[in-house]
Amino acid sequence: MKTVCLHKKVLSLLAFIALFIVSCAGPVSDPSQSGSSSDGGGVTPVPTLQVPPHRSYRLYDVWFDATSLYNRSFFNQAKQALSNWIEEACGVPNSDGFDVDINFITSNSFALSSDSFTIRCPKIGVPPLLPTLTPTPTPSSNPYDQAAQSTVEATNQQVLNDYNAKMAAFMKVVTNAKTEVSQGTNKLRQIEPAIDGNADIYGMIKRASYRFENAPGEHKLFIVSSLVNTTEVNYTNTSPLYGASVKLLWWTCQDVSSCSANIDYWYDYFKTNGASGDPLRYDPDRSSSLTNPFA
């Protein structure tokens, strides 16, 4: 009966860890290909657990246009979608985490709005590997065999207990990370900054430049705006972006001819100042159907 109970615990544990790994990183490998052996004790082969490829630290500088020049309904759509994306991207194993600086385009974007804040997703390690258990001896009436079987079962049970403790600690790290990031995303969902009358795009890029300078990891600039600038309070032709990739999300255009000239100007401005590749532009419909850009 001890052997049967232990086998049930192993199977239950395998089911749990399989569900966890599938949710975080895809399927586990076929247990029959794991290379573990089984003798008369019938020890279940142990699958090799898979985790995502390592993801280095990322710094996202995210800007929402809080001016009268941008449709507030698109502003609200964007903040809800980005909140969901950020939550989904946090808590993935084998990641160095990321920071998301939330900012708002105003008449003086460089000075920052009092509503600006940062959402932090901490580093997540890798889950413990499911242990390989010692095969139990074939049951017999020999008291020496029975003693050996009891010893193996006790040892295997301790191995499983140690594994469960490590997995519980790992899951607590994941849960704490998701709890921490949800505090920021809930704030983003609810925030309603005052509507400003002018848009300072130069100040936005200048502030992003200051953030990216000397910052580690990947640099990403996400902008929810039509990129219509109405003030030169922070005008400069030099705002280095240090290799940041640029995405324009929920981008809108009212007049095709003026939009074309405007977007050409800013694309050239981004590339001249060291953006990585061509900026990517998505209208509201395409933005809503994007694969998570924070993943």
pLDDT tens by residue, 242-292: 999 999 999 999 888 889 999 999 999 999 999 999 999 999 999 999 999
Kindly tell me the burial class for residue 165, based on how many C-beta atoms sit within 10 Å of its own C-beta (0-12, 13-18, 19 or more): exposed
Q: How many domains does the chain have?
A: 2
Residues 33 and 73 in one domain: no
Helix axes 256-272 and 201-212, enclosed angle (nearest 10): 30
Domain that holds residue 29: 2-50+126-176
Judge if 283 and 163 occupy the same domain.
no
Domain of 106, CATH number, reads: 3.40.50.410
Regarding pTM above 0.75, the answer is yes
Residues 35, 62: one domain?
A: no
Same domain, 164 and 91: no
Alpha helices in 59-133 (DSSP H): 72-89
Q: Would you call 131 helix, strand, or coil by DSSP?
A: coil
Reported as a single tens digit per residue, the pLDDT across 180-224 is 999 999 999 999 999 999 999 999 999 999 999 999 999 999 999
One domain for residues 211 and 274: yes
Q: Is residue 72 part of a domain?
A: yes
For residue 294, tell me if it sits in a domain.
no
Question: pLDDT tens digits for 159-178?
Answer: 998 998 998 999 999 999 99
Same domain, residue pair 138 and 283: no
Q: Which residues lie closer than 8 Å to 12 by C-beta, 6 or more apart?
A: none
Residue 104 lies in a domain: yes
Look at the block and give the residue holding tokens 């246009």: 65
Whether residues 199 and 107 share a domain: the answer is yes
Q: Is the per-residue pLDDT at 9 higher than 50? A: no
Nearest to 221 by CA among 230, 210, 237: 210
**Residues 108 and 206 occupy one common structural domain:** yes
Mean pLDDT over the full length of the chain: 86
Instruction: Give the list of residues 6+ apart from residue 144 with CB closer than 8 angstroms, or none.
Output: none
Residues 278 and 207 in one domain: yes
Residue (of 57, 53, 54) closest to 97 by Cα position: 57
33 and 171 co-located in one domain: yes
Are 220 and 243 in a shared domain?
yes
pLDDT for 27 beyond 90: no
Q: What is the dihedral of CA 29, 34, 38, 44, to 10 degrees?
A: -30
Do residues 249 and 63 touch, judged by C-beta distance below 8 A? Answer: no
Pair (143, 255) in one structural domain: no
pLDDT, tens only, 59-101: 999 999 999 999 999 999 999 999 999 999 999 999 999 999 9
